[in-house]
Amino acid sequence: MRLALIQTHLPETAGKMLDKTASVTAGRMAALGGGLTVDRRCPHDTRALAACLSAVSAEKDVDLIAVAGASAIVDRGDVIPAAITRAGGRVDHLGMPVDPGNLILLGELAGRVVLGLPGCARSPAINGFDWVLDRLCAGLAVGGADLMAMGVGGLLKDTTARTQPRMAAVTHPSPAAPPRLGALVLAAGLSRRMGGVNKLLLDWRGKPLVAHAVDTVLAAGPAAVAVVIGHQGKAVRAALEGRAIALVENPDPGRGLGSSLKRGLAALPADLDGVIVCLGDMPGLTPRLLSRLIAAFAPLEGRAICLPTFGGRRGNPVLFAARFLPEMMEITGDIGARPVIAAHPDQTCEVAMDALAEGASVLMDVDTPEAAKALLSAGG
């Protein structure tokens, strides 16, 4: 069997990760007596990917098409399924009850099977993609019912390919339990660019901006919420009165986001599986945006850092698996957690928010008087 691999990328996507994925995929095909005959890359955009799919489907030396996206496939509105449809193909099935490998797509284009790959397919470790590829390379048809049946009994629960049995390696949470997540809201900044006005206390739609951010986080249902306050802390504390949160004082907010991260993370419970780090000046965020981010979170599948994108640009908030918290506690200065994200590209999942009406809000914070004026005139 001859496989065509298409990888989509965003401006921040590391080229070495794309090269590694191509190498791993070529190895998979070689082990099955086939080959990787086409290796294409294009922007993570519906129109660009549709054009690439059309071109690849017209090539003669292609039996299967696989698409590894820069962002996870969460629903049919995402780039990969939308591009398959735009290119004239169809999406037959989304999802597979197998871990790792559940975010897989099965479709058809020009008489060829098209697979939207889960993030774990970038790794040589066995995952749900291998079981689908094995069948296809053996000439067996694969449909939605086949993908659903593969989950019966936990197909990948403890295969011989695992170097350590999962139940011995992971004791919390149980495989069936949802992740236990906390949230950290950073609200200690000096608002230097606002000309002396504390942006977090600006009234918008009847309450301060910081209250909007905290209420959105609370509505997403985290196990615990910590809010770091500093500049005009007494007034910010009063704006958040009555909410089920832990208020943490940063006595020296001028040292930057790193100092607030350290204090806020230390105030959260130690048994969390991950933490959502939010900014206090993003009033446009909604619980639906946070839920979409949480839905993509799957550390065992390589989605241990989940961040939102809109129009190909990365935004906030960001969800980090607990194993990265010690690194975050060491951050200094005012650059936030960017070094942690940059150090783990293979564990980072970009979750596109373009399909949501409020998706652009992941890029919008209130840092300047102009931004505040635009926000208040639009809905205040």
What is the mean predicted confidence (pLDDT) over 1-10?
A: 95
pLDDT band of 137, cuts 50, 70, 90:
very high
In 3D space, the residue among 45, 33, 130 whose CA is nearest the CA of residue 87 turns out to be 45
**Are the C-beta atoms of residues 376 and 202 closer than 8 Å to each other?**
yes
The set of residues, in sequence order, having a beta carbon less than 8 Å from that of 224 and lying 6+ positions away, is: 182, 183, 246, 268, 269, 272
For residue range 71-87, list pLDDT tens digits in order.
878 788 889 999 999 99
The set of residues, in sequence order, having a beta carbon less than 8 Å from that of 52 and lying 6+ positions away, is: 6, 40, 42
**Helix 209-219 and helix 287-296, axial crossing angle in degrees, nearest 10:** 50
In 3D space, the residue among 131, 141, 140, 134 whose CA is nearest the CA of residue 104 turns out to be 131
Residue 155, both tokens: 């197909």
In percent, the amount of the chain with pLDDT more than 70 equals: 91
Residue 251, both tokens: 């006595």
pLDDT at 157 exceeding the cut of 50: no
Task: Fill in the DSSP letter of residue 150.
Answer: T
3-state SS assignment for residue 358:
coil
pLDDT, the chain, mean: 88
pLDDT given at position 62: 96
Residue 254, both tokens: 């001028």
For residue range 194-211, list pLDDT tens digits in order.
666 788 888 888 899 999
3-state SS assignment for residue 351:
strand
What is the mean predicted confidence (pLDDT) over 97-103?
A: 82
| C-alpha distances in Å from residue 188, one per residue of 182, 234, 251, 264 | 19, 11, 9, 11
**Are the C-beta atoms of residues 91 and 79 closer than 8 Å to each other?**
no
pLDDT given at position 47: 95
In 3D space, the residue among 60, 324, 366, 341 whose CA is nearest the CA of residue 198 turns out to be 366
In 3D space, the residue among 44, 213, 33, 228 whose CA is nearest the CA of residue 137 turns out to be 33
pLDDT given at position 24: 94
pLDDT at 192 exceeding the cut of 80: no
What is the mean predicted confidence (pLDDT) over 237-241?
A: 94
Task: Fill in the amino acid letter for 162.
Answer: R
pLDDT given at position 172: 47
pLDDT at 161 exceeding the cut of 90: no
